[in-house]
Amino acid sequence: MLEDKFGRRFHYLRLSITDVCNFSCDYCLPDGYQCDTPRDFLTLDEIRTVTRAFAGLGTSKIRITGGEPSLRKDLNEVIKICAGTEGIKQVAITTNGFKLDKDIDNWIAAGLTSLNVSIDSLDPRQFADITGHNKLDVILAGIDKALTAGIQVKVNAVLMKQFNQTQFQQFLHWLETKPLTLRFIELMQTGDNLEFFDANHLSGQPLKEQLLAEGWSQVIRDKAAGPAQEFHHPDYAGRIGLIMPYSKDFCASCNRLRISSTGKLHLCLFADQGLELRQFMQEQDETALQQALVDLLADKQATHWLQDGYTGGTKHLAMLGG
């Protein structure tokens, strides 16, 4: 098992397969995807090699992310490769959901075990305002299809002062009958969004206090479950998760490593740079890749420096998949 000098164990890989996105979320790609780097994304053979290398080092969960991963025409093959690799027990995807209704059955047939969909507002007009696309209805239909198929569903909503702060009650009402986990994510500063961040960042702490006051109970989770805090309530079919990267000790339960769509290892979402590993993927050399991973992990830092406004080399999260 990959373990760092602080005793954190990494059983979870976030694998970005493209940095292209068709949405233009205000906090991420407000001007849409800018094609300013070559689109030289990992091939299926390279994905196979990196998946096997991680699995051989104890990784059991892979999240496929982007950009928008469903823009890749070979997404089904990517899911199949991950799901078919010995040792991989969970294959998840994070998507904006625009192809969900059409493709979820194929993804499940390929081996997908869980799904994260990003929905920042349940108000169709506000959703379109934030993302640039009037697609809320079809995304919600896709979520219902995924729930009917029995797959685990989480919905990600980024908290933003000027947008969806007032959405909290509507989201809660939705959870009364939807058996899914709704995860509120604190807006994170990135290289490109400082002004937006300053105007919109909201702490999750008051939400946590409100939930506890309204009868929600915090779920006791294993440290290996990662940094999200989860809450349940007997009157609700759904659960709530809070992801509070600005809170104390957030990084202590870090359980994930990231590979970018061009094959770089990112030890943290806010690292200065990605570490070049593509050569080993191109040569399909799993052993050399594993050795490099073990060596490079020695440089993983105890924490990010987001509280000090330090965002490393991350211009926006579409670069890496969040």
**Which segments of 176-233 does DSSP mark as H helices, in order?**
194-200, 205-213
Q: Cα–Cα distance between 88 and 83 in angstroms, integer?
A: 6
Among 50, 82, 115, 187, binds ligand SAM (CB under 6 A): 187
- Side chain identity at residue 296, one-letter code: L
| C-alpha pair distances (Å), 186 with each of 35, 161, 194, 247 | 28, 10, 14, 10
The yes or no reply on residue 271 touching ligand SAM (CB under 6 A) is no
The minimum distance between CB 268 and ligand SF4, in angstroms, equals 19
User: Which residue in the set 115, 185, 254, 267 belongs to the binding site for ligand SAM (CB under 6 A)?
Assistant: 185
132: left (phi over 0), alpha (psi -120 to 50) or beta: left
Look at residue 29 and give the partner it binds from ligand SF4, ligand SAM, none, a contact being a CB closer than 5 to 8 Å depending on partner kind.
ligand SF4
Smallest distance, Å, CB 224 to ligand SAM?
A: 21
158 binds ligand SAM (CB under 6 A): yes
Shorter beta-carbon distance to ligand SF4: residue 49 or 96: 96
Binding segment for ligand SAM (CB under 6 A), chosen from 4-12, 21-29, 53-61, 160-168, is 21-29
Count other Cβ atoms within 10 Å, centred on residue 96. 25
Among 94, 200, 260, 261, binds ligand SAM (CB under 6 A): 94
Q: List the one residue from 18, 51, 121, 156 that touches ligand SAM (CB under 6 A).
A: 156
CA 263 to chain CA mean position, Å:
17
Task: Out of 2, 13, 15, 28, point to the residue binding ligand SAM (CB under 6 A).
Answer: 28
Which amino acid would we find at residue 17? I
CA distance 19 to 24: 13
